[in-house]
Amino acid sequence: MLAKASACKAAPPAPRLSAVAAAALLALALPLSPAWAATPDSHDVTLSIANDSYEPMRCLILFAHFVVTEAGTIPPEGDLAIALSRQDSDGALWIARADGRRMMIETIECGAASRWAETRGQIPLLPARAGRAPRYGTACRLHDAIACEDLKPVP
């Protein structure tokens, strides 16, 4: 059996925002948008990694939540420069995504290019996190695994 349409109530009208209310909501939301991610509370940092080994070395940047990106492959006796940013408040290192949001760096690991998983070792990032220099450098050598010197500020 079908109900009669006359017994149904009409839906209440949807609330409408005035132009002033919409502008106020937009003003509140803007500081949360990704475009504001790169604020003046951070500075550029360059990390230079020298390969003091006899074979190519592959480096990966590991971000939070298991996100990984290639930093590059360094030929023997070559070096690689990685551009980062450092938050002034806590020294956290990050790289901006395409949409401007910060991808926080957990670590940078390097290993022999042909057998990275078995030979990987971490770049010691604490000096760059705790320091205020714009450039840091390290040298890495392959033995059984990659071993890197502590980062040092470079001129």
| HEC letters along the chain | CCCCHHHCCCCCCCCCCCHHHHHHHHHHHHHHCHHHCCCCCEEEEEEEEEECCCCCEEEEEEEHHHCEEEEEEECCCCEEEEEEEEECCCCCEEEECCCCCEEEEEEEEEEEHHHHHHHCEECCCHHHHHCCCCEEEEEEEECCCEEECCCEECC
CATH 2.60.40.2890 corresponds to the domain 38-153? yes
pLDDT for the residue 27: 43
Domain extents for the chain? Answer: 38-153
pLDDT for the residue 65: 82
Mean pLDDT by groups of 10 residues along the chain of 155 residues = 53 52 43 45 96 97 92 97 96 93 96 96 96 97 94 94
Distance separating alpha carbons of residues 35 and 52, to the nearest angstrom: 40
pLDDT for the residue 95: 95
pLDDT for the residue 7: 56
